[in-house]
Amino acid sequence: MFEQPRRPRRRVLTAVAALATSLSAAVIAPTAAEATVAADTIPLTITNRSGRSDQVYVYNIGTLLTTGQQGWADASGTFHPWPQGGSPPVDAPDAAVPGPADGTSLTLQLPKFSGRVYFSYGRKLVFRLATGGLVQPAVQSPADPNADTLFNWTEYTLNNDGLWINSTQVDMFSTPYAVGLQRTDGTTVTTGHLKPGGYQGFFAALRALPGGWPGLVRTRADGTVLRALAPGHAIEAGALPPGVLDDYVDRVWDRYRTQTLTVAPFAEQPDVEYYGRVAGDTMTFTDAAGQVVTSFSKPDSDSILGCYKQLDAPNDLVRGPISRTLCAGYNRATLLASADQPYNEADTFYADTVTNEYARLVHAQMADGKAYAFAFDDVGAHESLVHDGAPQHAYLTLDPLD
């Protein structure tokens, strides 16, 4: 969606193409009751329950779906394309909307757009424009101009088929918030709230782990906890050992040299199965007719944590769905628990001694257990996403840092 001259984003909710391929059971076609086309804009009410006195700044940035232009939307929902960028990147126009003070709310208009709503505390975010488009904050880089700013974002797509809006921890765990919407029938759904004490509880649990996991935490010079990097970013920043998951991968690789891994990637098509076996340094998948459909080299930890590189997931109907399923199985450490994937018994996730501890702790602190703690956390519908075909209202709640 945006120009980012650093490691690839592992998940961006520009779900228009991905939705059509039905790669996730969580994203479904509109029902007859949802057949009404979504309005051109819908209200987004931002409620500040953070308990902080800092000025909040809000940004709505992304891609206009009708033209593919990158830009930003003002409080009225009017789209503004970004001007030409440069090399080196130049400062973007100030797209900030003053947000609500603690204990108050502010309502903006969301246009038919695919992008992010950023919010920051105490200072504005710095966005820059390269020749290829917008450069977003690089949370893993201490040289990024936003490195000392407390901020977060939600991702959404609003199109003729409705609104998809989610909270995300794919890149970092930071200041807490929840998203919600009012459905066509007037009911309201929400996701993303932490348990009471969940914010501080997450950081305390992370810091108590052995190994390099405490190195994910980033603080400001004044002692303010800013964020925990997602583990893929932490590897890039040198804060987490690059072989953190290697032992688990070795054991998975050994098992499927002599056993078959069955992947049924489509919840709505349970009879579509692919069969994986390891030979040498390759896991090869065949279909029901015995034809080879794709293969994967042995993934390193970074590929697993980022769901990319050796676990690349193109937007197709074979390799992408298989890769998504493998990525979820590696991150949740379920590939040894069952030879049938995806394995969706959430109470067994992260049970191995080698697992994505960051994702485990994120899910453990969510009030409803749902999160986007890694790129394909939507496999099996364990993600923090709400959707409606003709929503009446959207909500973003800034929660306390307790």
Q: Which residues are known catalytic residues?
A: 155, 171
CA distance 358 to 245: 12
> Distance from CA of residue 160 to its chain's centroid?
23
3-state SS, one letter per residue, for the chain: CCCCCCCCCCCCCCCHHHHHCCCCCCCCCCCHHHCCCCCCEEEEEEEECCCCCCCEEEEEEEEECCCCCEEEECCCCCEEECCCCECCCEECCCCCEECCCCCCEEEEEEECEEEEEEEEECCCCCCEEECCEEECCCCCCCCCCCCCCEEEEEEEEEECCEEEEECCCCCEECCCEEEEEECCCCCEEEECCECCCHHHHHHHHHHCCCCCHHHHEEECCCCCEEEEECHHHHHHCCCCCCCCCHHHHHHHHHHHHHCCEEECCCCCCCCCCEEEEEECCEEEEECCCCCEEEEEECCCHHHHHHCCHHHCCCCCCCHHHHHHHHHHHHHHCCCCCCCEECCCCHHHCCCCCCCCHHHHHHHHHECCCCCCCCCCCCCCCCCCEEEECCCCEEEEEECCCC
> Between vectors from CA 189 to CA 183 and to CA 195, what angle results, nearest 5°?
170
CA distance 170 to 11: 7
Cβ(233)–Cβ(139) below 8 Å: yes
Kindly calculate the radius of gyration of the chain based on its CA atoms and give it in whole angstroms: 21
Sole residue written with tokens 């001259």: 5
CA distance 69 to 90: 18
Query: Which residue type sits at 365?
Result: Q
